[in-house]
């Protein structure tokens, strides 16, 4: 038999694949790779006797080591028991989202610890990168830090996300960003409709592909009080010619090279919408990012300054693209900067902005 891990609707799983091609799911709670954000992930290893060791967990705590044998799984470690006992963590639940075209979109919602039932909270929309990747019901320090600061946190898998099949992932092929924007806004509307989110205190953030969509969103709507775009692509033409893998963007995201069809690159660049932006927007990037180069963030920061939009630029020292928060100090710096920025524009308890008259 062959053992393989795969993502299914935002959850990492392990299955046995027989010589006849039959796939038998074995484990459905693999997790543990994306500590700061709720990405799918995790690892497993199979012993000679068929016992499987794996990193497993859920949204309530970081992953532990588990073993599965004979169809039964048990946890071997409780590495964060002291933390779990001493901290009030945000409860997390799945919510139903229907996109404008009728597609069902998976989304999860964390609420501030101790939040009274029926009381609305400021909402942070957290957007995953990729864009071909997936979030899930996984533990994430950013989610818990935002919730501890009094925010509800919403994350979702809009079209283009993995773990829902090739057709769903390819809905944004050669047209990103596009209708994924509508999926994200539908998720925000769902969080408002169920009584959790305060419609007058909406915030948005995301990294890499999520940074692209954050900048795209504030160019499309003024609904959000503030935004934080992290390591974004702002101008597809300049990114395609300055990133570390210069063949990637023009090959996989566009049908032609930048000089062959410059308008196709421009029309999908958040910079093309900066003339519409009124939302105070923080720009965050690693000082050693060569995937979505620092110059992308600097372009957006400069454009917002020229427009007179409140903005700030934070460069995380020594941080690369994939290792944006690989050190605890980097993760803490990023999260604290975003919380401080949102608090500046949040109204009501915990916020610094004056409420509407």
The catalytic residues are 208, 321
Q: What are phi and psi of 4, to 5 degrees?
A: -145, 150
What interhelical angle do 141-148 and 328-345 show, nearest 10?
Answer: 40
DSSP 182-212: HHHHHHHHHHHHTT-EEEEEEEEEEETHHHH
Q: Helix, strand, or coil here: 274?
A: helix
Helices (H), 200-320: 209-220, 236-242, 248-252, 262-267, 294-307
DSSP 8-state symbol, 225: S
Cα 106 to Cα 69, 132, 223, 263, distances in angstroms? 31, 15, 22, 33
Cis peptide bond prior to 290, omega within 30° of 0 = no
First to last CA, the chain: 67
């Amino acid at each position: 038999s062959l053992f393989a891990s795969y993502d299914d609707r935002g959850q990492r799983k392990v299955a046995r694949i027989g010589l006849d091609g039959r796939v038998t799911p074995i484990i459905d709670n693999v997790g543990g790779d994306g500590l700061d954000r709720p990405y799918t992930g995790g690892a497993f290893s199979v012993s000679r006797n068929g016992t499987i060791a794996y990193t497993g967990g859920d949204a309530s705590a970081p992953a532990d080591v588990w073993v599965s044998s004979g169809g039964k799984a048990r946890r071997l470690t409780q590495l964060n028991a002291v933390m779990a006992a001493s901290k009030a963590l945000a409860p997390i639940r799945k919510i139903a989202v229907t996109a404008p075209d009728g597609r069902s979109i998976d989304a999860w919602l964390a609420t501030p610890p101790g939040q009274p039932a029926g009381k609305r909270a400021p909402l942070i929309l957290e957007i995953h990168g990729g864009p071909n990747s997936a979030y899930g019901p996984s533990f994430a320090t950013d989610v818990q830090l935002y919730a501890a600061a009094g925010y509800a946190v919403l994350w979702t898998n809009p079209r283009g996300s993995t773990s829902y099949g090739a057709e769903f992932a390819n809905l944004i092929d050669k047209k990103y960003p596009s209708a994924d924007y509508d999926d994200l806004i539908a998720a925000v509307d769902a969080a408002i409709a169920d009584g959790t989110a305060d419609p007058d205190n909406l915030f948005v953030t995301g990294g890499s592909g999520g940074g692209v969509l954050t900048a795209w969103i504030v160019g499309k709507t003024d609904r959000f009080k503030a935004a934080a775009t992290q390591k974004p692509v702002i101008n597809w033409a300049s990114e395609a010619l300055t990133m570390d893998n210069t063949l990637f963007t023009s090959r996989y995201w566009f049908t032609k090279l930048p000089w062959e069809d410059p308008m196709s690159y421009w029309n999908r660049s958040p910079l093309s919408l900066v003339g519409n932006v009124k939302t105070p927007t923080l720009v965050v990037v690693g000082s050693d990012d060569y995937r979505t180069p620092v110059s992308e963030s600097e372009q957006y920061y400069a454009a917002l300054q020229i427009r007179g939009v409140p903005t700030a630029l934070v460069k995380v020292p020594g941080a690369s693209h994939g290792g944006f928060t690989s050190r605890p100090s980097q993760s803490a710096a990023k999260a604290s900067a975003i919380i401080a920025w949102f608090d500046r524009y949040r109204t009501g308890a915990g916020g610094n902005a004056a409420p509407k008259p």
